Amino acid sequence: MKLVIFACLVVVVAAAPQDKIVEIISDQRSDSGDGNFNYAFEADNGISVSASGTPGAAGQVNMEGVFRFPLDDGTIAEVRYIADENGFQPQSDLIPKDHPLPAHALQQIRFAEEQRAKGVE
């Protein structure tokens, strides 16, 4: 049993990140406790996050924010988002765009709509 515990500890230590420590260069937070909040932080490695929240009509907290992080090529990736009663809605050049539907798929959709209009279920 001691050998198993020792082996687990060795694995945990070996898996620990060996890179430099990332320092937080700014950290701002406010929370009124009623669903209104703001936070923003930035790290020395180029990562930054900010968000604000307000109470929503259905009891949820609506959020709006952005996060940025460096890519391997040195550019900065950015994701902006809204999270509200309509769900999580991210916007970014990183998110793949929908490709156009092929002609046969459009044909099937039109056929299904025609059938529904005729009352076919």
The whole-number pLDDT of residue 14 equals 55
Residue 80 contacts by C-beta under 8 Å, 6 or more apart in sequence? 65, 66, 90, 91, 92
pLDDT at 11: 54
pLDDT tens digits, 54-109: 998 888 889 999 999 999 998 999 999 999 988 999 999 888 888 888 999 999 99
